[in-house]
Amino acid sequence: MQKNQRIILYILLLIAGASWVALSADKTGASTSGNIPAPQVGFAAPDFSLKTPTGESYTLSELRGQAVLVNLWATWCPPCRAEMPTIEAMYQEYKDQGFVVLAIDMTYQDDPFAVVPFTEEHNLTFPILLEETGDVAALYQLRSLPSSYFIDREGIISEVVIGGPMSEALLRTRIEQILK
């Protein structure tokens, strides 16, 4: 192919490309994931209502306006146990800025009588919720424990951390991100 022919081809391809960029411009479908509930970064956090061992009820959507860490855990899971003291320390440090922790015990596959002794042993002051049916685990497509979802003040999932234990530095960076 001659040089002139090649240059004409480049120009035609770039014009076609620019036209495609303009044609596929999309205000509604390109990044509206935040309106759909799904356990993925950029989506609205799926809503749930669960109770603490003392019967106090918490609904995620009622915490809109606050930064929320949803932590799925179980007492038999060593990394879950290991990260709880750090989560408690971060909760104490940031709760006055609007940071909330909802630690959901997978009670349907855990020993329900082990939850309260564990929280007392570690002096955990944030709400511990009991998941007795597996519905929230299914809603969050739980694959492994612990799983942590950092949810911003708009109710959008900002970060998902699968596995643990999370370090203090990781928790700090993620919490400060959702508090903005």
Partner 1 sequence: MILLVIAAWIGLSLAEKRAERHGIHKDDLNNVIFYGLVAFILGGRISFVLQNLPTFLKSPIGIVSINPDIFDAFGGLAAALIAAFIFGQRRELALWPTLDALTPFLAILSIGMGLAHLAAGTAFGKVTDVAWGINLWSATRHPTQVYETLASLLIFGLIWFKKHDPRPGILFLTFAALTAAAQLFLQAFRGDSTLILNSLRQEQVIAWLVLAICFIFIETRFKSSPKAETDSAAIHVK
Residues that bind partner 1 (CB under 8 A): 3, 6-7, 10, 13-14, 17-18, 20-27, 29-33, 36-38, 40, 42-43, 159, 161, 166-170, 172-173, 176
Element (H, E) at 138: helix 135-139
Nearest distance in Å: CB 22, partner 1? 8
Nearer to partner 1 (CB atom), residue 9 or residue 62: 9
Dihedral sign computed on CA atoms, order 169, 179, 158, 80? positive
Nearer to partner 1 (CB atom), residue 132 or residue 168: 168
Nearest distance in Å: CB 161, partner 1? 5
- The CB density around residue 46, as the number of other CB atoms within 10 Å, is 19
The one-letter code for the residue type at 17 is G
Tell me the residue length of the chain: 180
Nearest distance in Å: CB 79, partner 1? 11
Nearest distance in Å: CB 174, partner 1? 8
Nearer to partner 1 (CB atom), residue 26 or residue 120: 26
Which value, to the nearest 10 degrees, does the dihedral of the CA atoms of residues 159, 57, 180, 87 take? -60
Per DSSP, the three-state class of 11 is helix
Nearer to partner 1 (CB atom), residue 37 or residue 98: 37
- Please say whether the beta carbons of 145 and 82 come within 8 A: no
